[in-house]
Chains A and B, each alone.
Chain A
């Protein structure tokens, strides 16, 4: 299998897993597609009903919109870094090939 085909299959399989989850799963408890981190807090409350978090976040995104802005920013910076490196290496390699020819 060449690299392009296997990369296509890998990407396709990842998308399929996400779509399958969105289409066919129903939440057992709590809100639909809530966070498993929040479910863990619920288990803490169940195990130790008297436990009070002793510290709260210094700053919280004021709304869901701002939160998605920051998550978007995080992935944009990450994709930028990764793809800059890939593009750079591709260019270096192309140049080297050109020089050899």
Chain B
């Protein structure tokens, strides 16, 4: 999902940067209020950021014979909310842009939008809808994390498709081309991300017990 440095036309890079900055700015505001109100929540922020750090560093092989990585934002989006998680996800992307030449400064806005913002909101939304539909809590978490992972790569495909329309078929044909690059590789990795997210939620439940601040953890688990 990392769009490489310089690989988006200037106006697209700017547009995504402005869009992402407004979301992340709002997230930062919420985050600083949260830290002031409840210092014990800091450990939750660390745990969710840690999970995203680990998962987004794992380049996993896929059945297509190429490699990609999960995102790890689903967990935090469910536990902390999508705006807070969009800030933590951005930290990962800044680190990778500066020190790993994965993504870049000019494409940071677009990459933050796909992984930290769209990925977080997808996880949060899917989780809420699943719970409303009385889907068992572990299944809801699995679906949220898996779909969040896929949504990130779908948004990357849309961003690239908008920037580089095909000469025949235009934007739609181009998006389809990028989806074909990303989605087959990502499918098994998204399933892995779903499994690992449920695993960590299980660990949180058994180590933390029930915590009123986080209804996800208090709900009947099995």
A residues lining the B interface (CB < 8 Å) = 1, 3, 6-7, 10-11, 13-14, 17-18, 20-22, 24-28, 30, 32-37, 39-41, 43-44, 47-48, 51, 53-61, 67, 70-72, 74-75, 77-90, 93
Contacts and interface: CB of A to CB of B under 8 A. Distances in A.
Contact of A84 (B46, B99, B222): B46
Contact of B192 (A14, A25, A57, A75): A14
Interface string B135-168: 0001000000000000000001000100011110
A55 B105 contact: yes
Contacts of A61: 99-101
Nearest to A37: B2
B28 to A, nearest CB: 19
A58 B67 CA distance: 25
Contact of A78 (B52, B166, B221): B52
Contacts of A25: 61-65
A78 B53 contact: yes
Interface in B1-30: 1-7, 10
Interface string B47-66: 10111111111111111111
Contacts, number: 191
Q: Counting chain B CB atoms within 10 Å of each CB, which of A28, A37, A55, A72 scores highest? A: A37
B46 A14 contact: no
A71 B101 CA distance: 11
Contacts of B6: 53-56
A11 to B, nearest CB: 6
Contact of B66 (A6, A17, A35, A60): A35
Nearest to B196: A14
9 contacts: A3-B221, A21-B61, A36-B182, A48-B164, A70-B100, A74-B100, A82-B51, A85-B47, A89-B209
Contacts of A43: 160, 177-178, 181
Nearest to B174: A47
Given A36-B182, A55-B5, A58-B105, A81 B47 contact: yes
A85 B62 CA distance: 31
A33 B105 CA distance: 26
A96 to B, nearest CB: 9
Nearest to B54: A78
B29 to A, nearest CB: 23
Given A7-B199, A10-B198, A41-B7, A33 B65 contact: yes
